[in-house]
Amino acid sequence: SIRIYRNVNVSKYTLLGFGLAMQLALVIPFIRSKLGAAKKTSEEAKPNKKLFVTGSVFLTILVGLLISSALVASSPQEFVDLTYFHNPLWHILSTVCLAAGTFLVWFRVFYWLATPGGKVKFERIVWILSGTMLINYMFFGTKLGIISSSLVYETGLTFATAEKIINLFVVIAAVFILWFIAKKWSKVATTVLLLAIVAIGGMSVVNLFTINKSINGLVNNITETDSTDMPDFQLSKDGQNVVVLMLDRGINYYVPAIFNEKPELKEKFDGFVHYSNTISHAAHTNFGTPGIYGGYEYTPVEMNKRDDELLVDKHNEALLMMPTLFKQNNYDVTVIDAPYANYKNYTDLTIFEENGIKAHIAKGKFSDDKMKQQTIDSNYRNFFCFSIMKCLPLYVQPAMYSEGGYHNDYRPQAQYGASIAKGTPKNYLEAVAVLQNLSTMSDIRDGSKNTFSIIYNDTPHNPVLLEAPDYTVSENIDNTKYDAENADRFNIGNGKTLNVENAFQMTAYHVNMASLIEVGKWLDYLREEGVYDNTRIIIVSDHAFPLDLYPELDLDKNANDIHFMGEYYFPMLMVKDFNATGFETNDEFMTNADVPTIATDGLIENPENPFTGKPINSDEKYAHDQFMIISVEWNVEENNGTTFFADEWASVSGDTTDINNWNVYNEPIVLKEHKFPD
C-alpha cells in the first residue's frame, strides 16, 4: 500500500479533487483524442443537460447515501456507544450534504461556466464517472473483512496485484464503452441513469429503514440498562469466589512468549495452570461464546441439533446457564458485558434483569468522553472520504484510506512495519480501560457469602502497537531497538520459535501482553486484599486468530481462506484453583467448553443445566472428536435462524499441533451430529 505522511490539514475538497483526479486521469485523455480542437462540437453533439443533471443526482445518491447507509446498515448497533450516544444517521446526513455540495453544486457551477463544447465533455465525464464509480463499488474490494465504527479495517486495506490489474482493465474498458454510449445514444444514457437512480435510491431507503429500526430499538432499551451506573462485582473475604474472565481473541500460543519476555509477570500468575493444548469450536464470538458460558450443550453442532428453536434463544440460554445455576445455589452473581445477549451488538441486560441476575455494562464506562467526541467529529468527514474511496480504482484506494486515517489530523493508530506506529488507538483504549479498572470494580466484602462473576472483555480483539517494554499507549511509537534486542522472546520451547515479523503478528502479541499485564495488576490487588487464595479464576477466550505462526496447520491448502488455518482455533485457557501455588503448563486436551465444568467442580454437587436438566461435565470431550464450524458468518443480525448457516467444518482430538489429528469437510453443510457425511 501507499503510505502518506502529512503534518498539514487536508480539506475535504482537496481529498475530493485527489480522488476524482485519479478517475479523470483515465477519462480525459481518451475524450480529448476523440473530441479534439480540430472538430467543432456543434457538428458532433449538442449539450444534453438532462444527462448532466441525472448523472450528478446519481453520484450524489451513490456517494452520499447508498455507500454510507450500506456501511451502517450492515451492523447499525456497532456504530453506537451506549455510554455516549450519537445516532449514526447524522453521519449519513453529513455525507449526503457533502456529496450534494460536490456533485450538485460545484459540478453545476463548472458546467454553467463551460462553453457548449465543454458542456458536452462535462456531461460525458459525469456519465463515465457514474458507471466506473458504481463498478468499483459494487464489484471490487467487497471482501475486506471487519471494519470498525472508526472506519478502520481490522486487517488493513490491501489488494492482490492480480485483483488490481483486473480492476484497472475493467475500468478502462468501461470508459470506452460508456463514452461510446454517450456519443451515440445520450438519451438512452439519461434513461439508464434515471433507472439507476430509482434502484440505488430504493436500496438506500431500505438501508435507512433498517438503521432506524435498529437504532430505535437500541434507544428504547437504553432506559432499561445501567448505561450510567458504574459496574462492580462482589468478592467475599471468607467465602468461595469464582471469576471467569473471557478475553475475546486471547491467543494461547502467545502465552509462553509473554512469560518468556516478562518472568516477573509469570510470578503474578502464581497458582495458574496454562492449558497449552486447548481448542475452540469456531473462529468467531457468536459461535464460540455459548460453549464458554454453557458448556458442551452449546457447541455449534449441539446448537444445530435443536433446530426447532431460534439461535438467539439458545444463545441467551447459554449466557444464563452458569449465572442461574450459581444463583440457585445461593451465590452472589454478577455478569459484565455479556457478548451478543439477545443477539444484539451491544450488551442487552434485559435477559439478566428478567431472571433476577445482576448485570452491568463496563465497556465505555472508563473511557475519555473527549476521545469519543473526537471520533464522532472525525466521522462527519471520514464517512464522505470512505464513500469516495470505495468508488476509486483499487490502485488508488490505499492512498485515500491512509492507514485508516483518511488524511485526518485526528486518526486511529497506523502501523509502519512491526515496530513503528503513529496515532490514537481509540477502540483499544476503550477496551483496556475496563481491565485497568478491575480493581475499582472489585467490591470486596467481609463475610462468607460465596460469589460468582463472569466478565467479558475484548482488549486482545483490538490489535495495536504499544510502547515496549511497559506496553503502554503512545502517540508515536518506535520499538525498533527493543525488538532487535529481544528477538529471542518468541522461543516458546520444544524447538518452536514463533516467527513474529510483521505488524499483524506483532500487534496481536502486544495486546495479548497488555491484557495479561493488566490482569496481573488485578491479581496483585486480590493478594493485597486477602482474597486471592479463596478465589478460583478462569481466564479463557472464545477463539484465537490466524497469524501464520503455525503454517504446518493449514487445514486445506487449496482453500484461499484464513478460516482454514488451524491456529484460529487455539483459544487462551488458564485456571487458578483455590489455594493453588506455582505455575505449570499442562498439555491435556481441553476445549473452552470445559469452563462450566471447571467453574462448578467441587462447589456444586452433581451440577445440572437449570434449563435442560442435563448434567454439567466434560464427558462429550472424550466421546468423539471435537467439531468446529469454519464460518465467516459472524453477524448475528443475519445468521440468526434456527441453525447456523451451512458451512465447512473441521474436527480434531488429541495433540492439536499435529496436522494428522485434524479432519476437514469442505462442503457447506448444517452439521447436526458428531461425524461427517460419507
The DSSP result for 634-663, as a single string, is --TTTS-SSSPPPEEEEEE-S-TT-GGGEE
**Cα–Cα distance, 196 to 133 (Å, whole number):** 13
C-alpha cell belonging to residue 567 = 491456529
Cβ contacts of 476 within 8 Å, gap of 6 or more:
421, 422
Cβ–Cβ under 8 Å, residues 639 and 311: yes
Cβ count near 395 (within 10 Å): 16
Q: What is the DSSP string of 87-113?
A: -THHHHHHHHHHHHIIIIIIHHHHHHH
Measuring CA to CA, how many Å separate 361 from each of 79, 358, 456, 538?
17, 11, 10, 20
List the beta bridge partners of residue 476.
422
Using DSSP, state whether 199 is helix, strand or coil.
helix
Closest of 16, 7, 105, 2 to residue 381, by C-alpha? 16
- Indicate the helix (H) or strand (E) that contains 33: helix 12-34
> Is the link from the previous residue into 412 a cis peptide, with omega within 30 of 0?
no
**Cα–Cα distance, 85 to 352 (Å, whole number):** 23
SS (H, E, C) 138-191: HHCCCCCCCECCCCCECCCCCCCHHHHHHHHHHHHHHHHHHHHHHHHCHHHHHH
- Indicate the helix (H) or strand (E) that contains 478: strand 476-478
Cβ–Cβ under 8 Å, residues 442 and 237: no
The pLDDT of residue 183 is 84
**Cα–Cα distance, 261 to 510 (Å, whole number):** 12
SS (H, E, C) 501-559: CCHHHHHHHHHHHHHHHHHHHHHHHHHHCCCCCCEEEEEECCCCCCCCCCHHHECCCCC
The pLDDT of residue 583 is 96
The pLDDT of residue 169 is 94
**Cα–Cα distance, 661 to 232 (Å, whole number):** 43
Cβ–Cβ under 8 Å, residues 627 and 281: yes
The pLDDT of residue 95 is 94
Using DSSP, state whether 408 is helix, strand or coil.
coil
Phi, psi of 413 (to 5 degrees): -70, 135
**Cα–Cα distance, 246 to 484 (Å, whole number):** 32
**Cα–Cα distance, 420 to 508 (Å, whole number):** 14
The DSSP secondary-structure symbol of 283 reads S
The pLDDT of residue 144 is 84
Local mean pLDDT, 10-residue blocks, the chain (678 residues): 27 42 45 44 66 93 94 85 83 94 90 86 90 93 83 84 93 92 85 93 93 79 60 96 98 95 96 97 96 98 97 98 98 96 88 93 86 84 93 92 82 87 89 96 96 98 95 95 93 86 94 98 97 98 93 84 90 98 96 98 97 96 95 91 96 93 94 93
| Length of the chain, in residues | 678
The pLDDT of residue 37 is 42
* Residue that has been written with the C-alpha cell 471447571 in this structure: 598
